[in-house]
Amino acid sequence: MSAIEASLSELLKTPGLTGAALVDGVTGLTYGAVGDAPEAGDGAETAELTALITDQVGRAAADNELESVIVTSARRYLVVQTVRRTGDPLLLVAALDRSRTNLALATRQLTAHAEGLAA
């Protein structure tokens, strides 16, 4: 198993997490996906959405770097967590079943996981 898949598989332990992917924040390329991958959306669209948000509202933040985006729908959360690193940003994308997940806990775990990737 590749290091990317091994790393993403850790996330499947998060309660309610149905699918996760590691996506390039600039090009939209999906580097790896685990679980129910289509749940985590289309990588290219996610990257474009995130870039749009960065461009439009990023300047409101202190240093202009978007951290995360959470899209809430009736049954699911889609969490897009930016992985900050020296190179181009990566996006850690996770789909969570609302009925089975604790969003605060899940986002903390995703943030921690993202920081681990950037180390």
Partner 1 sequence: MTDGPRLATTGEGTGAGHPPETANLGRAQIGSPGVPGVPFGEPDVPRPSPDGTAQEAPRAPDGQEPRQDAPARTLRALLLGLRQEARSGTVRVSGTPGGTIHLRDGLIVAIESPGTPSVESALLKSGRIDEEGWARALATARETGAEGDALGATLVAQGLVGAVELEVLCAATVFEGAFALSLGRTAEWETAEPSPVLRCGPGIEPRAAAEETTRRLAMVSRLWGPAAELARARTRPSSQAERAAGRLPRRYQSLLTAANGRRTPRDLAFVLGRGLFGVMVDLIRMNDLELLQWEGARPAGRPSTAPRLIPTEQSPPPAPSATLPRRVPRARPDRLGP
33 is an interface residue for partner 1 by CB under 8 A:
no
75 is an interface residue for partner 1 by CB under 8 A:
yes
106 is an interface residue for partner 1 by CB under 8 A:
no
Give me the amino acid identity at 16.
Answer: G
By CB atoms closer than 10 A (0-12, 13-18, 19+), residue 33 is: buried
- What minimum distance in Å lies between the beta carbon of 101 and partner 1? 14
| Closer residue to partner 1, CB minimum distance, 15 or 87 | 87
Neighbour-count burial for 80-112, b at 16+ CB within 10 Å, e otherwise: bbbbeeeeebbbbbbbbbeeebeeeebbebbbe
| Out of 13, 73, 99, 104, the residue judged to bind partner 1 by CB under 8 A | 73
Sign (positive/negative) of CA torsion 112, 113, 118, 119?
Answer: positive
Binding residues for partner 1, per CB under 8 A?
2-4, 7, 22, 24, 26-27, 29, 31, 38, 41, 44-46, 48-49, 51-52, 54-56, 58-59, 63-66, 71, 73-76, 78, 85-90, 95, 117-119
